[in-house]
Structure 1
Amino acid sequence: MKLAPLLSITALAAVSLLGCSNQSDSSSDAASSQETTILRFSHFYPSTSDINEQIFEPWAKKIEADSNGRLKVEVYPSATISKVDTAYESAVKGTIDIGSQVQGYTSGRFPLSQIAELPGLSNSSTQTGCMLQTLYDNGTIASEYEDSHLLFMFATGPGTLHSTNKLIKTPEDMRGMRIRRPSAVAGDIIESMGASPVGLPANDIYTSLQRGVVDGLSFPWEAMATFKLDELTKYHTNMPFYSSALMVTMNKDKYEGLPEDLKQVIDDNSGMTLSKKVGAMWDKTYSVQLQAARDKGDEVIDILDPLNDPDWKGPLEKGTQKYLDDVNALGLDADGVYEKAKAASIACKV
């Protein structure tokens, strides 16, 4: 007779325990959904550079704000957690979560992307960055980034020529000089003019100029003050010699492992908007640094349309064709990409 009440009490206890268990699981799921995912972002620019202070740091804060604190981007400048020329591969392997790198720092890794660097295609950071992002978005160069999740493309302003001991007025003046090259594209052009191209990461240029390892460099105006190279160079050939392509990319598994709403946060802070934001910043800095060189008494010569200049046209076209021929020889459609780059150049003209 006493067995039924006992069974009822046991059943009620079980139901109560089950209810507590379900509440505990729900609380655990809720807590889990609010956990913060840390994303380590490595780039090679100094912490005090414009791009770090005006682009990368604000971008990291916006990611955190838009995700309500569920994503936190830790920014590591000056190549402190990945080497200057391995940030892309480090992001691919997951050594870092996000990396920014110049494509030209890994020779032969992004041959189609670097077609956008060729002379005559662009005269601003905004235009080159827009070209690169367009060529990625329409699939022309996307295959070169399939092992990562690309966030956005951007580019320097036109790379010009700077030297320590003489003004370069014609290609003949470069003969015998040792000129720092940022990429294979610029290297081919420098070599076509009789100079010796020397490959150096941006962080190593200052000491190389100091020690006479190089006589000059090909570098955009906005980066001259960033790396303090304006302290050592006195002669400048203000000419759109080349452009440098750059990217910010993310580890693919890290991105794919995020919940859909956090992927959306990343997506909403990627692409053309970021590319143009960098371009606007650097195009403004370009003018400031050029004027600063004039104001301190440096010698500056302007060659603003070198492909129509009788001295520069031939060597620049020769260097361009050599690069296209080399890429075609890899079995890639360099000529086709070049035509698409020219179309993007027109569409992106500022």
Structure 2
Amino acid sequence: MTLNRRHLLAAGLAAPALLRLGTGSAQAATILKLSHQFPGGSIDEGDFRDRMCRKFAAAIKERSKGAMEVQVYPGSSLMKTNAQFSAMRKGALDLSLYPSPYAGGEVPEMNIGLMPALVPSYAQAVAWKDAPVGRKLTEILDAKGIVLVSWVWQAGGVASRERPLLTPEDAKGMKVRGGSREMDLMMKQAGAATLSLPSNESYAAMQTGACDAVLTSSTSLISFRLEEISKALTSGRERSYWFMLEPIMMSKIVFSGLPKDQQDLIMAVGAELESFGQEGAKADDTRVEEVFGKAGAKVVQLDEPTLGKWRDIARDTAWKDFANKNASCAELLKLAEKVA
């Protein structure tokens, strides 16, 4: 077969094992590509999700003594955001730090990673990994060609162009980006119109008036500079109905092609970095209030009765819709509700 440039590019993207010249001979080195949608920075500065990916890359290289390298591609610079999950399943992308609900179109069970008002705290979120719900989700993804490498949860809030979106009554007449089908169902029931777009497109949507309010993680609210075009912030620092699973995932095709020692190293480093991810998410829950407050935005907090109102709407809409998808979704939801 004659190889053209397209074939070579595809091969370079899909194949993790490349050759590096050593001293006098060619030595096999594993080169993995990790893509994500968030702004790039350095290992010490910037969006904690990018920093987490860079720390992952640095640890893999150091502990493998150069036998493995991870190249990080921030800002969807390697491929478009919504294409990354499918590419991993096909073996055309090695790794991604990827918002779980973005994969819901292909794997409906992934929408449980942003189920409104289901996860009330970081403590409960972190408990998922070793609970039956976490084991079940890991099994489902494995069957779909995805390995969960590092669990990361983030709380989120709402940036609004004009007035705060705090209570369900506030949603009436607003155009809202919720971040998942389930979040949109809750918002629609409250009277909002919804639109679906990745968080890295939120700024433009708010700037043009296509969107009145954006629900996203505290980190994304900061990284995408939404304080520049917002007059109000509903913070997720004390409590939130918006908790999202945003893990580092890996192509099972690629993972299975690695030797056991490299597989073990990837999983070990991923697990070790989870505490960094959670600390980064919590720190941004506080920092987002400072950033928006400094920009002149009104900062408001959910109280428990208001959160309860949102939970009631979510249970009657999003939770019910999710459970009716299939038996697997119904089982996941029951298992999630049992997490203490």
Match of 1:227 among 221, 224, 233: 224
Alignment of 1:71-86 (within 5 A): 71-86=68-83
Q: Which amino acid aligns with 2:167?
A: T
Pairing 1:36–2:29 present: yes
Alignment of 1:289-300 (within 5 A): 289-300=288-299
Unaligned runs of 5+ in 2: 1-21
Q: Which amino acid aligns with 1:184?
A: R
Q: Which amino acid aligns with 2:291?
A: A
Q: Which amino acid aligns with 1:339?
A: K
After superposition, the CA RMSD in angstroms is 2.6
Alignment of 1:35-184 (within 5 A): 35-48=28-41, 49-125=46-122, 127-132=124-129, 134-135=131-132, 137-146=134-143, 147-157=145-155, 159-184=156-181
Q: Which amino acid aligns with 2:321?
A: D
* Structure 1 position 256, deviation (Å): 1.8
Q: Is the 8 A contact 1:179 1:217 kept in 2?
A: yes
Q: Deviations over 1:211-255 (max 9, x none)?
A: 101011112222211011111111122351322222222222322
CA distance in 1, matches of 2:211, 2:123: 29
TM-score w.r.t. the length of structure 2 is: 0.82
Match of 2:193 among 188, 191, 196: 196
Q: Is the 8 A contact 1:163 1:234 kept in 2?
A: yes
* Structure 1 position 292, deviation (Å): 2.9
Alignment identity in percent?
21
Pairing 1:244–2:244 present: yes
CA distance in 1, matches of 2:298, 2:109: 36
Q: Which has more radius of gyration?
A: 1
Match of 2:334 among 323, 332, 339: 339
Q: Is the 8 A contact 2:35 2:79 kept in 1?
A: yes
User: Mean Cα displacement is larger for which, 208-217 or 145-154?
Assistant: 145-154
Alignment of 1:244-323 (within 5 A): 244-271=244-271, 273-305=272-304, 308-309=305-306, 313-323=308-318
Q: Deviations over 1:159-207 (max 9, x none)?
A: 2222111123432221111011211121111111100111111111111
Q: Deviations over 1:47-95 (max 9, x none)?
A: 1232255311011010011111110101111111121112111112122
Unaligned runs of 5+ in 1: 1-27
CA distance in 2, matches of 1:169, 1:261: 49
Instruction: Summarize the Cα distance change of 1:181–1:31 in structure 2 as closer, same or farther, 3 Å threshold.
Output: same
* Structure 1 position 31, deviation (Å): 6.1
TM-score w.r.t. the length of structure 1 is: 0.80
